[in-house]
Amino acid sequence: MAYDKFNILTSTAVPLPIENVDTDQLIPARFLKATERVGFGDNLFRDWRYNPDNTPKKDFVLNDPTYTGKILVGGKNFGSGSSREHAAWSVYDYGFRCVVSSFFADIFRGNCLNIGVLPVQVSPEFSEKIFAAIFADPKTEIEVNLPQQTITLLSTGESEKFEINSYKKNNMLNGFDDIDYLQSIKGEIKEFAEQLPF
């Protein structure tokens, strides 16, 4: 399914300075039983967010009204583990449109790009600056500019470029997805399949 277009996102951000945030934390396996893509945001970080009796854990950042926004800033090696796209769905469904980290796990990054969540990889130094800025002032706004491929702390003007391949960038800007593209070259794919040795 095609998704929302992404151009320039300006928002406050939610800080989660923990390394190796894995997919079982993003969405525990017991919440993977849905057969439609609905309601995953409720279970984002379920076991860090709620006690076993379903009362919110007050010290977890998603339960702290101080921090809000459409950008999630995580620690190094964000999204490691499973290939479950449900992890990216839960991030999206909760309301995030961008995840920032100094290092992403491969499959999670790809899944985000496939559903319209922009993964922005920054240097470890810039990651530290972002965390420091948010903790100093939770109202700090961050601009994620996809056309320019820049992420900027609006309070100080500090900015860094980020990488995204031009194909995926075009998809994100226009809300296209890979299936649209692959469908358009189906004839070529069939020809390729026919010449395979077995």
Partner 1 sequence: MSNTLFDKVWDAHVVRKIEGGPDVLFIDRHLIHEVTSPVAFLGLKSRGTTVLYPNRTFATADHNTPTIHQDQPVADPLSANQLQMLEANSAEYGISHWGLGHQKNGIVHVVGPEYGITQPGATIVCGDSHTSTHGAFGAIAFGIGTSEVEMVLATQCIMQPKPKKMRINVNGKLGKGVTPKDVALFIISQLTTSGATGYFVEYAGDVFEKMTMEGRMTVCNLSIEMGARGGMIAPDETTINYVKGREFTPKGEAWDKALAYYKTLKTDEGATFDKELSFDGASIEPMITYGTNPGMGMGISHNIPDADQVEGGAATYEKSLGYMGFSEGQSMIGKPVDFVFVGSCTNGRIEDFRAFTSLIKGKHKADNVTAWLVPGSHIVEAQIKEEGLLDILHEAGFELRQPGCSACLAMNDDKVPTGKYAVSTSNRNFEGRQGPGSRTMLASPLVAAAAAVTGVVTDPRTLIEELV
Q: Name the residues that contact partner 1, by CB under 8 A.
A: 1, 17-20, 22, 24-25, 28-30, 32-37, 47, 52, 75-77, 80-86, 88, 103-107, 110-111, 114-115, 165-168, 177-179, 181-183, 185-186, 188-190, 192-193, 196-198
What are 69's two structure tokens?
Answer: 């926004």
Smallest distance, partner 1 to C-beta of residue 71, A:
21
Cα–Cα distance for residue pair 27/71, rounded to 1 Å = 18
Residue in 130, 173, 124 with CA at minimum distance from that of residue 152: 130
Distances (CA, A) of 19 to 74, 77, 103, 175, 194: 7, 6, 9, 30, 46
Nearer to partner 1 by Cβ, of 110 and 138: the residue is 110
Under 8 Å CB-to-CB from 159, ≥6 apart: which residues?
150, 151, 152, 153
Residue bearing tokens 């999670």: 108
Smallest distance, partner 1 to C-beta of residue 145, A:
19
Smallest distance, partner 1 to C-beta of residue 114, A:
4
Nearer to partner 1 by Cβ, of 123 and 156: the residue is 123
Smallest distance, partner 1 to C-beta of residue 6, A:
16
